[in-house]
Chain A
Amino acid sequence: MPVKNKANVVIIGGGVVGLAVAYNLALLGIKDVVLLERAYLGSGATSRCGAGIRQQWGTEMNCALARKSMDIFENMNEMLEVKRDIELKQKGYLLLAFSEEEMEQFRKNLKVQSKYDIPSREVTPRKARDIVPHLNLEGIVGGAFCPTDGHVNPFLVTEAYANAARRLGVDIYTYTEALDIEISGSKITGVRTDQGLIKTDRVVNAAGGYSQQIGEMVGLDLPVKSERHEILVTEKIEPLQGPMVMSFSYNIYCQQTPEGPFLMGYGDPDEPESYNLNSSWHFLEEMTRKAARLLPPLKHLRVIRQWAGLYNITPDRQPIIAESEEVPGFFMAIGFSGHGFMIAPMTGVLLAEMIAGEDPSLEFKLEPGRFERGDLILEPSVV
């Protein structure tokens, strides 16, 4: 489909982040918003992700972002007038500690979380087993549990934002690729697509695992890299496990989705930087070994499918949500480092406010300059 030849803002990337930004811009009354997606909506990391949403973070900013995003997820069916329920399931996240040191960190995090009304609490190993009866307690010294964390269906959330954005007048072009960004001086003048040129002076980089390529289009070497992360799904069974079970040190996340299958993954510390999306046999073996040890009854389940998606990672594993200082009008919502789905609702709100020149509804600082200054965000709770 040929594209419009002029726009107020052009968003590159039709994942959950780009669509949340599009919807919120339209909600603030910004007209002529265009979103470009080179495949179908959600085809990137969004529909490949683990669908987990948690509020148990260790920095004030992340607690605020996650808590407020949860408020939005809880009201999303009504707010976005969805056609299909987004399948929110709040059965909690159980985080497991395998050393006293890890447990100490959890206690510190819990203090921060309580300031933000996040109803998380410390659990003893025995309490952990009350919550997840099939848990193997070997090596576990304790944990933290937040009953309102959980799961939402990423593809349906994406659809919900897309439909709501369209109703507010946003033009969404799928199978349309941004090829280059035209610049004169340091000012953006347009986006060249495979369906024609769109004149604009504002661009949003929401290209997920390909965000560095969009950066190159305006001459920026963005501090992000991409890395494959694998995941698998089992056959469905009757409800067995309420919460997501997760451990940073044992390196696993595993949840049962509302329809009944289990989703699980871990981060391979030796994974190289790449755009590789192939599935590996190594992952299948290591994943099933980890799951069978921690959650023994799951070993009887059949693996139905495995796949991979890209994490877009920054040096401190915290996102960049900012306008470029070098190229004014170039906005970024990138580098989500494996947790961009759960904070997409607030990302959409905050970036739209920034573009519209309004006061942010919560205080945050996620500019890329922190990497040059060596002023990294120290978030202890990343996978």
Chain B
Amino acid sequence: MEPQNTIICRCEDLTLAEVEEVIAEGYTTIEEIKRICRLGMGPCRGSTCLQLIDRILARQRNCGREEIKMPTNRPPLEGIKMKELAGDAGEK
């Protein structure tokens, strides 16, 4: 498949070509890539793209996948509705 037609992050509608361009600019950690193009910042919390990005980075940096640092896993693990967290205030 063509890099410009391969979607890496569905929530943010990012293609492989776009992600590769950000890496080529010199952003070589997942934390930076997330912040530049919002990769993995959507509601699925990176469940697809974070499985792919380490491979892409490893290929571009010519290293093993285990050398790529995964981002901090930030709570809450599943998107929770505010009213479920807010207790009484959310009921009204």
Contacts and interface: CB of A to CB of B under 8 A. Distances in A.
A303 B79 contact: yes
Nearest to A299: B83
Interface in B49-92: 72, 74-76, 79-83, 85-90, 92
Nearest to A290: B89
Contacts of A279: 74-75
Contacts of B42: 235-236, 304
A293 B91 CA distance: 10
A306 B82 CA distance: 12
Contact of B80 (A236, A259, A291, A302): A302
Given A236-B42, A304-B79, A155 B89 contact: no
Query: Which of A236, A298, A303 counts the most B-chain CB atoms under 10 A from its CB?
Result: A303
Interface residues on A, range: 20 to 34
A329 B32 CA distance: 33
B75 to A, nearest CB: 5
Given A279-B74, A289-B86, A292-B90, A302 B45 contact: no
Given A259-B38, A284-B76, A306-B75, A40 B32 contact: yes
A296 interface: yes
B3 interface: no
Interface size class of B (residues with CB under 8 A): 20 to 34
A234 B42 CA distance: 9
A284 B32 CA distance: 25
A18 interface: no
Given A302-B43, A305-B74, A285 B85 contact: yes
A307 B41 CA distance: 13
B35 A306 contact: no
A340 interface: no
Contact of B92 (A284, A285, A296, A303): A296
Contact of A303 (B38, B41, B82): B82
A47 B35 contact: yes
A89 to B, nearest CB: 16
Contact of A305 (B35, B36, B45, B89): B45
A235 B81 CA distance: 10
B76 A159 contact: no
A373 interface: no
A305 B31 CA distance: 14
Contacts of A301: 81-82
Contact of A299 (B29, B41, B82): B82
A176 B73 CA distance: 25
Instruction: Select the residue from A155, A236, A279, A288 with max chain B CB neighbours within 10 A.
Output: A288
Contacts of B76: 284, 303, 305-306
Given A40-B32, A235-B43, A303-B80, 17 more contacts: A40-B29, A159-B36, A279-B75, A281-B75, A284-B85, A288-B83, A289-B89, A290-B89, A291-B82, A292-B90, A296-B92, A298-B82, A299-B82, A300-B83, A302-B43, A304-B79, A305-B74
12 contacts: A40-B29, A159-B36, A235-B79, A288-B83, A292-B89, A293-B89, A300-B82, A301-B81, A303-B82, A304-B43, A304-B79, A306-B75
5 tightest CB-CB pairs across the interface, nearest first? A302-B79, A299-B83, A288-B86, A288-B85, A292-B86
Interface of B: 29, 31-32, 35-36, 38, 41-43, 45, 72, 74-76, 79-83, 85-90, 92
Interface of A: 40, 42-43, 47, 84, 155-156, 159, 234-236, 259, 279, 281, 284-285, 288-293, 296, 298-307
